[in-house]
Structure 1
Amino acid sequence: MNGFIRKPKWNQKFMKWIAMIPWAALLIFGSGVAGWETTGGQEDFLPSFGTGTIEVRLYSDYFCSPCRDMEPDLEPLLLDLVKDGAVHLTFIDVPASEHTVLYVRYFLSALGQKNDFDSALHTRRVLFEAARQRMVDKDQLVNLLTEKEIALKPVDVNPVFSLWNRYLQEDQIRSTPSCVIVHGDQKATHVGRLEVIRALEILRDNFGKTPAGSSKDENAAKGKKDKD
């Protein structure tokens, strides 16, 4: 898992500090280090997709190795769930790396130009690969996105940051990858690559049914059934 506080000493203090800042405050930080620009007067947009009644909030960081390794298994599950109308999915980028702000800027700018689910997945895929290569120069990143035919458009990020900040606090996320599933009055949090994938597989295989709870709940239920 990718915790908010990294182990390497050179950035440990930085990660401890950034873990305590809400996304809204990072708007100011980002404008200083990454040339962040926002534009007003635009129609608000959010990185959310699907019309289902089951809420799925996916927390990840581009520089999180488990998040990146999970993507090949994650994408087909998300495609099935969103396009079948099973869920309402929200991507939430967690500021667990000092370079996350730069990547989020371009992810949201790409959605500002083309805000559909397939494009969002494509942009995430490209950004995860760029992070794997430790690409942290913004000019290189823009060139890569252009090469991959991902157009950018300045957007007002405040609505997105406000939503992310609220969810981060409400869901008490402490590491990535994490996935929160809300169905009616039931809410379950799944942490780590295996748990996240398993939870989404259960949703896919039981479309329209009450999603399973946390791993402990699942194991307890299974144990009770075996005992009976």
Structure 2
Amino acid sequence: MQFYRLLVQHRLLITINLALIGIGIVAFYAICDTSCSFLKGDIFGIDLKYVGYGYMAAVIILALLKQDDLLRMLVASGIGVEVFLVSFQVSINVFCPFCLAFGIMVILMYLVNYERSGMTNKWYQKLIYFFGDAKIPFTDNQRLPLLAMMIIGYIFVSFSFSGSATPAYAADNKTIPSYGNGPWELIIFTDYFCPPCQFVEKDLEPELERLLARGDVKITFVDYPGHGKDSTLYAKYFLYAVAANKGYQNIMKTRNILFSLAKQKKINQENALDDFLKSQGIALTIIDPTLLYKEWMTLIKRYEINQTPTCLLRFSSTYTRKYIGSESISKELIPELQKRFPPGKSK
């Protein structure tokens, strides 16, 4: 009982600290420097991380102003939003630990600020008010069941949310871009707009060119559209370049240009990208990439890829090792490639 009194006495301070932790979780997720997770989403076009910042900032403001009832309403609506987002993750079987941690902060704020004073004798009213209530502003002590705010939050986000956790390519050549032959295969999963991927492909480039020149190691490129339409556009034009010229020198040049453009974030229109690639001497053949997208998706699901950069080194079906993040690829994969396939030797 004494603990409860202390909790009630300091709950606004506790709420502020929980909100600050929530902001820290979002910030940490946003500045990941070795890998990018692709549980992406937005509400009315606003990225979820900015919605998270705004939500927690609003919680802090209401707590500082000691607006307990409005605070309870806001937190309860957040519960509804989190229920939807968790169900979304369950539906596509990809879970974001940062998103779940943020949701835990919302639940804790709800529990800390929980009040239930609008109970009645009728069983259905008891059920409705079981989730707590809050005084409606500008009314004569009329109280709103927080279950209503949860439902409102759920409905709101169900109509306004757009997101994906695995790439959602819009919709053919024959096969996905692969080069070389042999029992060993290196599969590279990257996204042009993922900063760690931009670093990794540049770091891998000398090894890839060496292995491609050997021709006895199969190298497969899988473009992962974690940044929505921009990633999909660049992936499509990579396939156009492959269709026009399958030589590995052309492929490496094309990827180099696309990663450089993505890093600068200057071109996101199809006509402009088409013109720029042609100005750089990249031939393009327009194809329907639908089947290639499906093949990429098959690989992504088969190897359970949910972040980039990720590389797989495989030996037929007997050996598979996954390297996740720029640090692992730079410090573990590259030395492994140099060890297994030494320069100047061909197997």
Say yes or no: TM over 0.5: yes
- Quick check: 116-125 or 196-205, which moved more? 196-205
Residue 334 of structure 2 corresponds to 200
- Tell me, in whole angstroms, the C-alpha distance in 1 between the residues paired with 2:245 and 2:234: 17
- Tell me, in whole angstroms, the C-alpha distance in 2 between the residues paired with 1:123 and 1:164: 19
Residue 219 of structure 1 corresponds to none
Alpha carbons of 1:85 and 1:114: their partners in 2 closer, same or farther (altered >3 Å)? closer
Structure with more helix by fraction? 2
Structure 2 residues without counterparts, runs of 5 or longer: 1-34, 49-84, 86-159, 343-347
**Secondary structure at the counterpart of residue 189 of structure 1:** strand
For the aligned residue pairs, the C-alpha RMSD in angstroms reads: 2.4
- 2:150 is equivalent to residue 17 of structure 1: no
- 2:30 is equivalent to residue 2 of structure 1: no
- 2:323 is equivalent to residue 190 of structure 1: yes
- Tell me, in whole angstroms, the C-alpha distance in 1 between the residues paired with 2:189 and 2:251: 15
- Quick check: 172-181 or 153-162, which moved more? 153-162
Residue 295 of structure 2 corresponds to 163
Deviation at 1:6, TM superposition (A): 4.8
Paired letter, 1:4: F
- Quick check: 48-57 or 153-162, which moved more? 153-162
- Tell me, in whole angstroms, the C-alpha distance in 2 between the residues paired with 1:56 and 1:132: 24
Paired letter, 1:18: S
- Quick check: 84-93 or 54-63, which moved more? 84-93
Residue 113 of structure 1 corresponds to 244
Contact 2:186 2:314 in 1 (8 A): yes
Residue 88 of structure 1 corresponds to 218
- 2:235 is equivalent to residue 104 of structure 1: yes
If the length of structure 1 is used for normalisation, what is the TM-score?
A: 0.76
Identity of aligned residues (%): 27
Residue 89 of structure 2 corresponds to none
**Secondary structure at the counterpart of residue 190 of structure 1:** strand
Which of the numbers 56, 67, 74 marks the counterpart of 2:186?
A: 56
**Secondary structure at the counterpart of residue 220 of structure 2:** strand
Residue 66 of structure 1 corresponds to 196
**Residue correspondence of structure 1 range 201-220 to structure 2 within 5 A:** 201-207=335-341
Deviations 1:4-50 (A, max 9, x none): 03598723399972324554xx21xxxxxxxxxx6xxxx62421011
Deviation at 1:159, TM superposition (A): 3.1
Larger CA Rg, structure 1 vs 2: 2
Contact 2:190 2:223 in 1 (8 A): yes
- Tell me, in whole angstroms, the C-alpha distance in 1 between the residues paired with 2:226 and 2:161: 7
- Tell me, in whole angstroms, the C-alpha distance in 1 between the residues paired with 2:308 and 2:162: 15
Residue 149 of structure 1 corresponds to 281
Alpha carbons of 1:173 and 1:140: their partners in 2 closer, same or farther (altered >3 Å)? same
Paired letter, 1:207: F
Contact 2:39 2:166 in 1 (8 A): no
Paired letter, 1:121: M
- Tell me, in whole angstroms, the C-alpha distance in 2 between the residues paired with 1:167 and 1:131: 24
If the length of structure 2 is used for normalisation, what is the TM-score?
A: 0.51
Contact 2:311 2:329 in 1 (8 A): yes
Deviations 1:37-74 (A, max 9, x none): x6xxxx62421011121111100000000111122221
Runs of 4+ in 1 over 6 A off after TM superposition: 13-16
**Residue correspondence of structure 1 range 28-47 to structure 2 within 5 A:** 44-47=174-177
